[in-house]
Amino acid sequence: MHHGQLSKTVAKGLLELKRRVEAANVPPSRLDESLNIATWNIREFGRRPRRAASLHYIAEILGVFDLIAVVELRDDLSQLREGDLPIVA
């Protein structure tokens, strides 16, 4: 996944996170055979600002999956609507 320009600290964190995600052995999806699905309770996602690094880490994890169900029990989804969370197509 391309994250654009990053600080060395965030880039190093992403490499470590990628190593951990690979160690989790999430099976690869296969066209017409399987689909990797995740659910994520974003729990008060827009209530307080998140660091840009956190958004990169979240995007890296979610990028492993084909379909993500986002669950938020609050009414405020403004941070998602503002496009602050990188969307992977």
The answer to whether residue 89 sits within a structural domain is: no
Q: Is residue 64 part of a domain?
A: yes
Tell me if residue 68 falls in helix, strand or coil: strand
Query: In this structure, is residue 3 part of a structural domain?
Result: no
pTM value > 0.75: no
31-87, pLDDT tens digit by residue? Answer: 889 999 999 887 766 677 778 888 889 889 888 899 999 887 666 666 655 555 555
CA 78 to chain centre: 17
Number of domains making up the chain: 1
Q: Is residue 88 part of a domain?
A: no
What confidence score (pLDDT) does residue 45 get?
67
**What's 13-64 look like in SS3?**
HHHHHHHHHHHCCCCCCCCCCCCCEEEEECCCCCCCCCCHHHHHHHHHHHCC
Q: According to the model, what pLDDT value does residue 89 have? A: 43
Tens-place pLDDT, residues 11-30: 999 999 999 989 998 888 88
B/e letters for 27-45, b = 16+ CB within 10 Å, e = fewer, are eeeeeeeeeeeeeeebeeb
Domain range for residue 34?
8-81
